Structure 1
């Protein structure tokens, strides 16, 4: 699936078979956000005004490529992650032994299905960190708009991945496992949303005022 064209992927996404679905599409949005980090870094790396930050820009560029590749893998992994759950629900449940075996298979399938979205959330935190580092350099000019768009993409990826975590844990009977997975997802969400919101506010401020906000504007004492 990774090598197919965008058009082919969208045709597959809109088909009635449901594979790929929202989780896979979420990973694609994350990959696009990482590609924007890479693009901004690529354009900025040789600018004389940023010569003192060149090594940092090159490092960000390299890490953005790794993040994009990871999202592309997750796009494919998520598309097939729910298959074991679907198969488990079709298992017989005529006897108590069959019911028990079926429930174990469902729980194992759900635990596997929740891993790609959790990984997406963790990877998105890394992605948001890259945007934070770009903003600290700081990047100047209209290209800051691409930073703002990329941050919005990253925030969407984080929130959508969180929904994809919850849709799987919601069917779990093992309350302890459910609590642990949802707690991890909630932690990732809170950490990432706060940083993404601040980055978007800062980049929007730059686009409106042609300068990055000072600490007092951000409300930092």
Structure 2
């Protein structure tokens, strides 16, 4: 059975990321940042929910926690998917191209591999936006002692979104279809703008509450 990336100690991940190894690269690192961001938001929701009595946490907190939990698990899977996508691209790149048939087969494989290399970071961008929406729903409900953690959640998720957008843009250079290239670029740009907006909203709410509480 193949070991999953997130079953390894974090130190092993960092050692591999710092090495000459092809993976994990920027896409997997972005997914790790997203997973950390979702984790911080999920933790803030858990602490806020603790001690709420028989009624349990509010529906808003519970729903946001569930979305952040799902985002964390999905980010872990996307780290694996990013490395698999890179492996597929390298395998396609190394295919023989001595004959016309081989060239055609290689081109088809390259197109498929490039599509995967773009779709994975796009999925990560969508995930980050979803996580930031959930963090925003917690901004007014989170307990003070974990308020900064919620802000950190937003920072990590927005940073992961920016990293994913960079990955999309880099990989667009291998897309031959102008329409496909434009659609992916536009979606990535729109998602990043939304992530930036949501991060700003969360941080504004967090900082406002911190200033009020510390007066």
Normalised by the length of structure 1, the TM-score is: 0.86
Give the superposition deviation at 1:63: 2.3
Counterpart position of 1:106:
110
Counterpart position of 2:24:
20
Give the superposition deviation at 1:48: 4.9
Separation (CA, whole Å) in 1 of partners of 2:163 and 2:116:
18
Equivalent residue runs for 1:32-43 within 5 Å? 32-43=36-47
Which of residues 204, 207, 214 in structure 1 aligns to 2:207?
A: 204
1:31 aligns with 2:23: no
- Pick the structure with more helix per residue: 2
Equivalent residue runs for 1:99-178 within 5 Å? 99-136=103-140, 138-178=141-181
User: Where does structure 1 lack aligned partners over 5 or more consecutive residues?
Assistant: 212-221
Superposed CA deviations along residues 104-148 of structure 1, whole A, max 9, x for unmatched, are 221211001112111101111110011111014x32424211111
Q: CA RMSD in A?
A: 2.1
Separation (CA, whole Å) in 1 of partners of 2:156 and 2:201:
14
User: Where does structure 2 lack aligned partners over 5 or more consecutive residues?
Assistant: none
Counterpart position of 1:216:
none
User: How many matched pairs?
Assistant: 209
Normalised by the length of structure 2, the TM-score is: 0.88
For structure 1, which segment, 98-107 or 79-88, has the greater mean C-alpha deviation from structure 2 after superposition?
98-107
Q: Secondary structure at the match of 2:58?
A: helix
